[in-house]
Amino acid sequence: MLGNLRYGTSIIAQANNEAALCTSVVVRADSPIAKVKGWNKDYPEVYGSPETVRGKTFLATTLTSSHYALSTWLNVLGLKDSDVVIKNMDQSQVVGAFENNIGDGIAIWAPHTFIIQEKGGVVFAGDIVHCKKSNPIVLIADTKYAEAHPDVAAKFLSVYMRAVDLMKNTPPKQFVEEYQKFYLEFVGKEYNYNQALLDLETHPVSSLDEQLAIFDDSKGPSQAQLHQSDIAAFFSNVGRITADEAAKVSDGKYATGKYLKLLKEQQK
């Protein structure tokens, strides 16, 4: 969203969805928040209520997907950011503080979600899926270049989709050792077998046909465009972008499926 606003980029495909378990609000198992489930009948898997949440302190990395998850969860409970205390920390600090009994809840993303789940004693009060939103990682292109060279954009996607096809047709267990090596090189930390496997299993990738469905705007805004609209609204509500800026990106139309369609035609 910011890339389009500042640099004229387009979203041309989805990498994976970070919503299911990966980006969540977490509370301690003995928290009053964890004792109430389904307060909002439209969201039966979400924990908490206005009474148990209002005024509580939450640790999050603000203006990130964890903050987005927290705000989305609060909205399900009829609350706003201003109804709680949000303390800004990086993700490692968030987990460390929570383990030292600081804060009433935290908003975190993978791999921290897997690490804290493995240690036990916590409840996932609301992830983005249960709050009926999405948090996709996306592939972007420079709009002017892609429009001038659509064949290159389609070829780029063809290489990416080869990797997707491999991952969708291979048991995740077969990737664990390679993924652990990648994680050590990329992040500089060890990732145990169970964490790495859970990470792979909870980051689903989408086939070309699934991608085309996500980007289908033939009957109104696509799923991809609606997500960008949600992101624009979030950043506007927290004051990260102005109302005028939000208006420029609120329709999410910079998420386009035309290069995916071109790839489909080339495959035919």
The CATH number covering residue 35 comes to 3.40.190.10
Domain boundary among 79, 108, 127: 127
What's the confidence (pLDDT) of residue 217?
97
195 lies in the same domain as 84? no
What confidence score (pLDDT) does residue 40 get? 97
- Is-contact 136 128, C-beta < 8 A? no
Q: Are residues 66 and 155 in the same domain?
A: no
- Indicate if 245 and 220 belong to the same structural domain: yes
Q: Are residues 48 and 152 located together in one domain of the fold? A: no
- Residue 203: predicted pLDDT: 87
Query: In terms of domains, do 180 and 218 share one?
Result: yes
151 and 245 together in one domain: yes
Same domain flag for 29 and 11: no
pLDDT in tens, the chain (268 residues): 999 999 999 999 999 888 777 899 999 999 999 999 999 999 999 999 999 999 999 999 999 999 999 999 999 999 999 999 999 999 999 999 999 999 999 999 988 888 888 888 899 999 888 999 988 899 999 999 999 999 999 999 999 999 999 999 999 999 999 999 999 999 888 889 998 998 899 888 999 999 999 999 999 999 999 999 999 999 999 999 999 999 999 999 999 999 999 999 999 8
Helices (H), the chain: 2-7, 50-53, 65-76, 91-99, 112-119, 143-148, 150-168, 176-187, 193-201, 208-214, 223-237, 243-249, 258-267
Number of domains in the chain: 2
Q: Are residues 118 and 197 in the same domain?
A: no
Q: How many residues does the chain have?
A: 268
pTM: 0.89
Which of residues 127, 144, 162 is at a domain's end? Answer: 127
Same domain? For 231 and 154 the reply is yes
Measured from the Cβ of residue 65, the count of other Cβ atoms closer than 10 Å reads 21
Spatial distance between the Cα atoms of 72 and 131, rounded to a whole number of angstroms: 7
In b/e form, how buried is each residue of 112-140, taking b as 16+ CB within 10 angstroms?
A: bbbebbeeeebbbbbbbbbbebbbbebbb
Peptide bond into 111 cis (omega under 30): yes
pLDDT of residue 191: 87
Q: Which domain holds residue 47?
A: 23-127
pLDDT of amino acid 25: 96
Which two structure tokens, joined as six digits, stand for 110? 């993978």
- 33, 99: one domain: yes
Residue 262 and residue 139 in one domain? yes
User: For residue 184, what pLDDT is reported?
Assistant: 94
Determine the Cα–Cα distance for residues 190 and 134; give it in Å rounded to an integer: 28
